[in-house]
């Protein structure tokens, strides 16, 4: 109970920190970086549900991110639609496409699934890149409007954008938390651990996999739509495989299959990258080997490593406690025996 | 008609390169059952090594290729030892991620050393020749011939030598190979060496008609995956046949369908195959 309370406190402190962050820094550039990091986190959570909890490594995640971003951009600039209507539609478009692709791709497993989604990701990227009349090709789309007003609230300043993204991030975390701690979440983990076994005990694996795939693409689309209206211009690069690898790096470093992993990994890497700005294009010289080493030695990343460490310490304490209890019991027995004799 | 012959010839060139890359990939898959996502990066490194050997060290084209084979082969062996070997009992998702990590590292490293610019490799075989009304460069002819030679050497190595037979044995049954006294660690290293060398040969042959740049491995790798799924994961003849099929399809598709979308063709083929048969066209014995 004390542990839970502590955990709850940490989360509360983090949320409060996130809320007061803009006032602490007062630096628009830092707010910009943080907002961007939050957007990535939303995308990483989507990837985490699928790859971390269900065990299906999708390499098309950037593709869905791009679909969300382009849907919003096209609906607002070319169709002149109301922002929030376009926002909702963008999410629906991404999810529906996710469902169609999921229906087909989830028939494959393991390596085939990874390769299949890799190819799907490429197709999405190439279509965006080549479909000049719709997507603007390599030039991309410009003039995407900022999020529309909700009543009296406007989203023109960096701070207001920051809060909007934070709001969506908190909802994302809450939803993922609820999913992971529900029977559905357990079902996903069961599928990850052994799909055959899950099927044997009566789980409809296809239905569950499809559901998690759609949820995952939904979050990718949400992140994409937020990205489009935050950066205000987009190019086909956001659908390229390197974005998927970036998201995967955040996830692995933070901890795949853990709730806090996406937050820890993304914020850590985004800030470290910020500090190592002179590296820019070469940052993968550091993060690439880290990714590989983590998978070998700490496959569950920082968060998972911490959880394991705490579990081990607890076990040790428990063992010690048991030992002391035993010693006490045996001491009592001997004293009782000596009393009898005496 | 001329266009058709020209395109068939282009398809043969493309297919040769694809086959060589896919062969390396399928060999490794046959042995360790991992899709080596870093194979495209090996291909790219090979291109830069050959280029540097020619321009900086002033070596002959062929000697540069040999050096490149050794370097990339060594790199592949190192990868097996340091990364895939420790991960041999880990869940399948781990070695994919580890391989992606290596790939990202190699790309960044190459960009750091050689820069992100597109570079051209000038081969000594740039002459244009005219065969039966089709104009072609010597380099393209060289690609086709050299690929066949490499394939024959590989075939002899795998089928006629004892060392080659151990590779086949291990891809058929790892435990069985271990039982009859085959040193599986050594075979795994050897396979990676061959796989890396094949990638280096492929890129050294094709770089003069393409360009050398850090991202050059991406498309080739994904297409090689398409090929080995087409031909059966772990199947050697499948990789060769699949490579040529893809080469021809792309060359003809670029002419008769759309040049812009020629790269999509490969992926559409794959998506169609996996949609109909989720375990690939020929579920190979070697592959899981």
Tell me how many degrees the CA angle A16-A20-A25 measures, rounded to the nearest 5.
140
Nearest Cα to A240, choosing from A62, A118, A40?
Answer: A62
Task: Quote the minimal CA–CA distance from A69 to chain B in Å.
Answer: 21
What 3-state DSSP class applies to A146? Answer: coil
The residue ranges of every structural domain in chain A are 11-299, 304-342
CA–CA distance, B27 with B42 (Å, rounded to integer): 15
Place of tokens 């070319």: A78
Cβ atoms B167, B234 nearer than 8 A? no
Report in angstroms the alpha-carbon separations of B36 from A116, A274, B53: 15, 31, 26
Per the model's pLDDT, the better-predicted residue between B154 and A109 turns out to be B154
Number of separate domains in chain B:
1
Whole-number pLDDT of residue B285: 46
- Asked if residue B140 is part of any domain, the answer here is yes
Nearest to B96 by CA among A61, A121, A57: A57
CA distance B44 to B267: 21
* pLDDT tens-place string over residues B79-127: 988 888 888 887 777 888 888 889 889 988 888 888 888 888 887 777 7
Please, are residues A83 and A226 in contact by the beta-carbon 8 Å criterion? no
Cα–Cα distance measured from residue A289 to residue A268, given in angstroms and rounded to the nearest whole number: 16
Task: Determine the Cα–Cα distance for residues A236 and A243; give it in Å rounded to an integer.
Answer: 11
Residue B286 pLDDT > 50, yes or no? no
- pLDDT tens digits, B147-179: 899 999 988 998 888 888 888 888 888 888 888
In chain B, which residues have their Cβ closer than 8 Å to the Cβ of A292? Answer: 83, 97-98, 101-102, 105
Check if the beta carbon of residue A42 is closer than 8 Å to that of residue A222. Answer: yes
**pLDDT tens digit sequence for A177-193:** 999 889 888 888 888 88
Angle, nearest 10°, between helix axes B2-32 and B138-160?
A: 30
- Residue B1 C-beta-side C-alpha neighbours within 13 Å: 2
Q: Given phi > 0 = left and psi -120 to 50 = alpha, else beta, which region is B258? A: beta
Taking the C-alpha atoms of residue A57 and residue A51, their distance in angstroms, rounded to an integer, is: 5
pLDDT tens, A148-163? 777 777 777 888 888 8
In a domain, B250, yes or no: yes
CA–CA dist A302, A320 (Å, integer)? 27
CB atoms within 10 A of CB A321: 10
Tell me the pLDDT tens digit for each residue of A256-268.
888 888 988 898 8
> In the prediction, which pLDDT does A99 show?
93
* Strand-pair partners of A153: A150
CATH number of the domain at A11-299, please?
Answer: 1.10.3470
Cα A290 from Cα A296, distance rounded (Å): 10
CB-based contact A93:A224 (threshold 8 Å): no
Q: Which of A146, A128, A137, A142 is nearest to A234 (CA)?
A: A142
Provide mean pLDDT across the span B192-209: 90
Cβ-based contacts of A241 with chain B (< 8 Å)? 218
Whether the CB-CB separation of B119 and B131 falls below 8 Å is answered with no
Contact A190, A203 (CB under 8 A): yes
Share above pLDDT 90 across residues of chain A, in percent, rounded to a whole number: 20
Of the listed ranges A27-31, A111-115, B274-278, the one predicted with least confidence: B274-278
Most trustworthy range by pLDDT among A142-146, B188-192, B216-220: B188-192
Q: For A324-340, what is the mean pLDDT?
A: 77
Calculate what percentage of chain A has a pLDDT beyond 70. Answer: 96
Cα–Cα distances in angstroms (integers) from residue A14 to residues A30, A251, A258, A263, in the given order? 17, 19, 17, 11
Please compute Rg for chain B using Cα positions. Answer: 19
What is residue A145's DSSP assignment?
A: P
Question: How far apart (Å, rounded) are the C-alpha atoms in residues A287 and B106?
Answer: 11
Residue B103 lies in a domain: yes
Cβ B274–A116 below 8 Å, yes or no?
Answer: yes
Q: Is the pLDDT of residue B77 over 90?
A: yes
User: What does the pLDDT average to over A60-69?
Assistant: 93
Token reading at B39: 């194979």
Tally Cβ neighbours within 10 Å of residue B211. Answer: 13
In a domain, B286, yes or no: no
Residues of chain A positioned with their CB less than 8 A from the CB of B257: none
Q: Which residue has the tokens 């809060």?
A: A163
Instruction: Assess if residue B287 is contained within a domain.
Output: no
Q: Which of A57, A107, A245 minimises the CB distance to B104?
A: A245
Structure tokens at B246: 């893809």
pLDDT tens by residue, A78-92: 888 888 888 899 999
**What are the tokens at A85?**
């209507």
Most confident of A51-65, B244-258, B266-280: A51-65
- Which contacts (CB < 8 Å, 24+ apart) does range A106-111 have? A106/A56, A106/A206, A106/A209, A106/A210, A106/A213, A107/B274, A107/B275, A107/B278, A108/B274, A108/B278, A108/B279, A109/A195, A109/B278, A110/B92, A111/B34, A111/B35, A111/B92, A111/B96, A111/B233
Q: How far is A118 from chain B (nearest CA, A)?
A: 7
CB A98 within 8 A of CB A216: yes
Domain hosting residue B24, numbered range:
2-276
* H helix or E strand, kind and range, residue B113: helix B92-114
Give how far the C-alpha of residue A25 lies from the chain's centroid of Cα atoms, to the nearest Å: 26
- Where is pLDDT greater, at B38 or B132? B38
Residue of B nearest to A50 (CA): B93
Q: Is residue B284 part of a domain?
A: no
The answer to whether A296 contacts B98, with C-beta atoms less than 8 Å apart, is yes
Q: Which of B83, B94, B104 sits opposite A287 (nearest CB)?
A: B104
Q: Kindly identify which residue of chain A lies nearest to residue B86, measuring between CA atoms.
A: A296
Q: In chain B, which residue's Cα lies nearest the Cα of A123?
A: B264
CATH number where B180 lies: 1.10.3470
Helix residue spans in A26-60 (DSSP H): 28-47
Give A269→chain B minimum CA distance, Å: 15
Q: Can you tell me the distance from the alpha carbon of B96 to that of B86, in angstroms, rounded to the nearest whole number? A: 13
β B134-137/B128-131 pair status: antiparallel
Closest C-alpha to B219, from B64, B58, B40, B36: B40
Contact criterion met (CB below 8 Å) for A58 and A51: yes
Q: What per-residue confidence (pLDDT) applies to B1?
A: 65
Mutate to test the interface with B, among A47, A103, A112 (most CBs of B within 10 A): A112
Q: What is the pLDDT of residues B210-234, one digit of tens each?
A: 888 888 888 888 888 888 888 877 7
Question: Per-residue confidence at A69, pLDDT binned at 50, 70, 90?
Answer: very high
Q: Distance between the two ends of chain B, CA-based, in angstroms?
A: 44
| pLDDT computed for residue B288 by the predictor | 36
């Amino acid at each position: 109970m004390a542990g839970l309370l502590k955990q709850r406190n940490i989360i509360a402190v983090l949320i409060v920190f996130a809320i007061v962050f803009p006032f602490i820094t007062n630096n628009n550039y830092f707010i910009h970086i943080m907002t961007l990091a939050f957007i990535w986190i939303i995308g990483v959570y989507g990837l985490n549900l699928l790859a971390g909890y269900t065990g299906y490594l999708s390499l098309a995640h950037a593709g869905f991110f791009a679909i969300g971003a382009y849907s919003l951009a096209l609906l607002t600039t070319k169709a002149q639609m109301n922002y929030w209507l376009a926002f909702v539609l963008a999410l629906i478009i991404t999810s529906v496409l996710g469902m169609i692709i999921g229906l087909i791709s989830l028939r494959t497993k393991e390596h085939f699934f990874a390769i299949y989604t890799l190819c799907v990701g490429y197709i999405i990227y190439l279509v965006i890149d080549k479909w000049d009349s719709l997507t603007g090709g390599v030039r991309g789309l410009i003039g995407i409007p900022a999020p529309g007003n909700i009543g009296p609230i406007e989203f023109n300043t960096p701070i207001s954008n920051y809060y909007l993204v934070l709001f969506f991030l908190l909802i994302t975390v809450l939803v993922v938390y609820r999913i992971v701690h529900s029977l559905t979440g357990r079902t996903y983990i069961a599928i990850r651990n052994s799909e055959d076994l899950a099927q044997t005990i009566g789980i409809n694996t296809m239905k569950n996999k499809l559901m998690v795939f759609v949820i995952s693409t939904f979050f990718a689309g949400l992140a994409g739509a937020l990205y489009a209206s935050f950066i205000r211009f987009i190019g086909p690069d956001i659908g390229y495989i390197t974005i998927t690898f970036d998201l995967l790096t955040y996830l692995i470093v933070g901890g795949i299959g853990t709730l806090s992993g996406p937050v820890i990994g993304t914020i850590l890497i985004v800030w470290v990258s910020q500090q190592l700005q002179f590296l820019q294009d070469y940052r993968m010289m550091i993060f690439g080997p880290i990714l590989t080493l983590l998978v070998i030695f700490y496959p569950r990343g920082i968060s998972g490593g911490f959880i394991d460490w705490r579990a081990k310490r607890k076990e040790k304490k428990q063992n010690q406690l048991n030992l002391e209890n035993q010693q006490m019991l045996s001491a009592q027995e001997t004293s009782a025996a000596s009393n009898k004799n005496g | 008609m001329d266009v058709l012959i020209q395109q068939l010839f282009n398809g043969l060139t493309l297919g040769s390169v694809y086959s060589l890359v896919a062969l390396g990939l399928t060999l490794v898959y046959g042995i360790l059952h991992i899709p080596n996502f870093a194979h495209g990066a090996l291909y790219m490194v090979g291109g830069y090594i050959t280029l540097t050997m020619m321009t900086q060290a002033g070596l002959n084209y062929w000697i540069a290729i040999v050096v490149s084979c050794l370097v990339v082969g060594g790199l592949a062996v190192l990868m097996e030892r340091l990364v895939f070997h420790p991960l041999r009992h880990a869940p399948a998702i781990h070695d994919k991620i580890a391989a992606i990590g290596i790939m990202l590292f190699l790309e960044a490293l190459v960009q750091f050393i050689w820069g992100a610019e597109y570079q051209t490799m000038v081969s000594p075989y740039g002459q244009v020749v005219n065969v039966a009304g089709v104009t072609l460069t010597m380099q393209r002819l060289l690609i086709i011939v050299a690929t066949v030679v490499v394939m024959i050497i590989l075939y002899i190595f795998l089928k006629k030598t004892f060392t080659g037979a151990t590779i086949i044995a291990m891809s058929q049954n790892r435990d069985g190979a271990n039982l009859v006294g085959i040193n599986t660690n050594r075979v795994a290293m050897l396979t990676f060496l061959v796989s890396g060398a094949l990638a280096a040969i492929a890129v050294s042959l094709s770089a003069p008609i393409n360009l050398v740049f850090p991202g050059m491995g991406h498309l080739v790798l994904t297409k090689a995956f398409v090929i080995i799924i087409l031909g059966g994961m772990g199947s050697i003849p499948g990789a060769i046949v699949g490579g040529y099929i893809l080469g021809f399809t792309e060359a003809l598709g670029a002419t008769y369908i759309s040049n812009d979308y020629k790269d999509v063709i490969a992926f559409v083929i794959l998506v169609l195959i996996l949609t109909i048969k989720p375990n690939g066209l020929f579920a190979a014995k070697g592959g899981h």
